[in-house]
Amino acid sequence: MINTSLRILLVEDLETDAALIQRQIKKIVKTPEIEVTDNLEECQELLVNFAPDVVLSDYNLPTCTGLEVMELVKDYDENIAFIFITGTINDEELAANTILNGASGYILKKHMNNLAEKLEPLFKKVVINMVARDELRDRIRDNKITVNQIYDYLDKINEDNLEHRENVEKIRNAINQFRIDDEDVE
């Protein structure tokens, strides 16, 4: 069971398949957040407003193809995992091309009864990548904090140097004044 909450965008036109896929997902993800659509327009809106961690898509849809959905997703964020769940890809060459074009995987709908078993390793990879991105984000934030602290320190040194130069100039002026006063006395 995956305990990390996953935001899943399901692009599927058949309600029965969408319901079966959601049921299978809930077998392996403790708290999934799932949004379902069947067109590019809503898909684009959900990419922006729902921000999925993974997209599952059928290959043949009423108004577009799964490749168009994948292209939209990859244009939006190439790091979002994209998995085809379809009955269409019977041709191994077509399946290989989907992977070469950026899909993280594909699963045939004829394997719907053991979909959870096939999705689990793909979802675990998504979670590992999410954790790695979070760790990287934390390190970047920590580095920015350190850099800002260095800048603050350098600014203070510059202020101290300016004050030091001003004091040196005052001492020079005082020495010069002393020389002038001393020359007037002689």
Tokens of 150: 């260095």
Residue 85: which CATH number? 3.40.50.2300
Instruction: Calculate the dihedral angle through the C-alpha atoms of 96, 100, 101, 106, rounding to the nearest 10 degrees.
Output: 40
**Closest of 35, 87, 31, 79 to residue 59, by C-alpha:** 87
Query: Average pLDDT in the 40-65 region?
Result: 92
User: Residue 113 belongs to what H/E stretch?
Assistant: none
Residue 122 placed within a domain: yes
Does residue 101 sit within a domain?
Answer: yes
Confidence of residue 19 (pLDDT cuts 50, 70, 90): very high
DSSP calls for 65-108: BHHHHHHHHHHH-TTSEEEEEESS---HHHHHHHHHTT-SEEEE
Residue 58 domain-assigned (yes or no): yes
Task: Give the HSE-up count for residue 68: Cα atoms under 13 Å, Cβ half-sphere.
Answer: 12
> Would residue 150 count as lying in a domain?
no
DSSP 3-state assignment of 59? Answer: coil
Evaluate whether residue 177 is within a structural domain: no
Model pLDDT for residues 105-160, shown as the tens digit of each residue = 878 788 788 889 989 998 999 888 887 777 776 777 778 778 878 887 888 887 77
pTM: 0.71
Question: Average pLDDT in the 75-104 region?
Answer: 77
What is the overall mean pLDDT for the chain?
Answer: 84
Residue 32 belongs to what domain range? 6-140
Which DSSP string do the residues of 2-18 spell out, in sequence order? B-S-EEEEEE-S-HHHH
Instruction: Produce one character per residue of 77-111: b if its CB has 16 or more CB atoms within 10 Å, e if not.
Output: eeebbbbbbbebbeeeeebeebeeeebbbbbbbee
Report d(CA 162, CA 148) in Å as an integer: 21
How high is the pLDDT of residue 83? 93
Give the residue among 50, 32, 39, 35 at the shortest CA–CA distance from 119: 32
**Residue 36 in domain:** yes
| Angle, vertex CA 2, rays to CA 40 and CA 117, nearest 5 | 75
**Number of compact structural domains in the chain:** 1
Res. 96: pLDDT tops 90: no
110 belongs to a structural domain: yes
